[in-house]
Amino acid sequence: MTARYIALAQRLGHRRWVAAVGRRLVPFDCWLERTTGGRLSIAWPLPRLRLTTIGRRTAGLHTTPLLYARSGADWIVTASNWGQAHHPDWSANLIANPDATIDIRGERIDVHATLVRGADRKQLWDAVTEVWPAYETYGKRAGREIRVFRLSTR
């Protein structure tokens, strides 16, 4: 059942309406994950984390749920912004202050983010598109190179 659910979600992920609905469900999904200690999410069973960054203008904490891939001991996330033309705020926050925190199923981990470029980006892009193939579609729709970040334990 789980493999079929993932395959269906990955196929539907390319459709524009999935991104539109997904964007609107993020606040509910954050609440659901927070209240269940990370056990439940709309994105289940895809690998997901909650990234908390420090706002570059406000210095406040901002939390965003993201899908991720693994590369060794690191987590790889993309700033796809559901295929919108602009980069998400959290990615600009990481560029301004790369120290952040991730929460995976209730476990909090301090991380340091690195914006990945060049050959390393290609390899990590392949890893994240294996998890969520629609990132390829999001990149075409956005008309920009989607930022890829490596999150390493501090």
Span 96-145, pLDDT tens digits: 999 999 998 789 999 999 999 999 999 999 999 988 888 888 888 889 99
Q: Is 128 left (phi over 0), alpha (psi -120 to 50) or beta?
A: alpha
Which pLDDT does position 81 carry in this prediction? 87
For residue 92, pLDDT over 50 is answered with yes
As a whole number of angstroms, the distance between CA 30 and CA 98 comes to 22
13-17, 31-35, 100-104, 126-130: which has the minimum mean pLDDT?
A: 13-17
Does the CA dihedral 131-18-41-78 come out positive or negative? Answer: positive
The pLDDT confidence band at residue 1, using thresholds 50, 70 and 90, is very low
For residue 89, pLDDT over 90 is answered with yes
For residue 77, pLDDT over 90 is answered with yes
Contact call for residues 80 and 99 (beta carbons, < 8 A): no
Which pLDDT does position 46 carry in this prediction? 77
**Total domain count for the chain?**
1
Any idea what the CATH number is for the domain that residue 54 is in? 2.30.110.10
As a whole number of angstroms, the distance between CA 147 and CA 144 comes to 9
Instruction: Answer whether the bond into residue 65 is a cis peptide, omega within 30°.
Output: no
Residue type, 111: V
Domain enclosing residue 137, as ranges = 2-153
More confident: 91 or 84: 91
